[in-house]
Chains A and B, each alone.
Chain A
Amino acid sequence: GQNIDQPTEMTATEGAIVQINCTYQTSGFNGLFWYQQHAGEAPTFLSYNVLDGLEEKGRFSSFLSRSKGYSYLLLKELQMKDSASYLCAVRGSNDYKLSFGAGTTVTVRA
């Protein structure tokens, strides 16, 4: 089975940086995904890590350490529109479906 943990809520100020941690224990590993979900909307794909290290995509970066079962999503230069839920998801080896954490609600304040 899969066990994926991330904080429930985080609050940050506009223009600041926030780091959302995700730890996982899975039967095998074949990729870690981050999705963003605004209230009442579809989750949208942000990033994918399958090898150790940092993937940077504009204001968002995602890091993976497979040996530690750990990832983080880094949001820089926060904007009000970044207020959303951020979902960490893992694909096990020889698998196709994603297992999701409960999500981290990020609130950006002026």
Chain B
Amino acid sequence: GAGVSQSPSNKVTEKGKDVELRCDPISGHTALYWYRQSLGQGLEFLIYFQGNSAPDKSGLPSDRFSAERTGGSVSTLTIQRTQQEDSAVYLCASSIQGSGANVLTFGAGSRLTVL
């Protein structure tokens, strides 16, 4: 597509429920990133996918968080047994790896509210 697409744009859930957030990167972009943005905080790196390489999961805050990228394209971020501190905007970005500046293009994000 023309840009990075994320869904849902807003999600309200109850504490303890599982949620899935989806990211459709720009066609042809080999690298995909997930970040989390909490109020008043900088973007926090969560996970990175590049082609067929093993993902860098070093930013995932706990084992309740996981992510997959199927067919080198669409990615799903799953949060199990959600907690109130998981409330944030989850941003996905994609880039063409190895393209000089390697500029990340972001989606508009999925706003998660855990009650």
Contact in complex: A87, B97 (CB < 8 Å): no
- List of A residues within 8 angstroms of B4 by Cβ: 42
Contact in complex: A96, B42 (CB < 8 Å): no
- List of B residues within 8 angstroms of A89 by Cβ: 43
Smallest CB gap from B105: residue in A: A45
CA distance A98 to B4 in the complex (A): 17
Contact in complex: A100, B103 (CB < 8 Å): no
Which of A45, A99, A103 is close to B103, meaning CB atoms less than 8 Å apart? A45
Is A33 interfacial (CB 8 A cutoff)? Answer: yes
The bracket for how many chain B residues form the interface is: 20 to 34
**Contacts A4-B42, A97-B45, A97-B56; A43 near B106 (Cβ below 8 A):** yes
Contact in complex: B43, A87 (CB < 8 Å): yes
The bracket for how many chain A residues form the interface is: 20 to 34
- List of A residues within 8 angstroms of B109 by Cβ: 42
Smallest CB gap from B48: residue in A: A97
Could you tell me which residues of chain B, from 75 to 115, have a CB within 8 Å of some CB in chain A? 91, 97, 101-109
CA distance A96 to B103 in the complex (A): 10
Is A102 interfacial (CB 8 A cutoff)? Answer: yes
Q: How far is the CB of B60 from chain A (nearest CB, A)?
A: 13
Is B62 interfacial (CB 8 A cutoff)? Answer: no
Contact in complex: A96, B48 (CB < 8 Å): yes
Is A29 interfacial (CB 8 A cutoff)? Answer: no
CA distance A41 to B58 in the complex (A): 26
Complex interface bits, B44-57 against A, C-beta within 8 A gives 1, otherwise 0: 11001010000010
CA distance A97 to B91 in the complex (A): 13
B contacts, CB < 8 Å to A: 3-4, 31, 33, 35, 40-45, 48, 50, 56, 59, 91, 97, 101-109
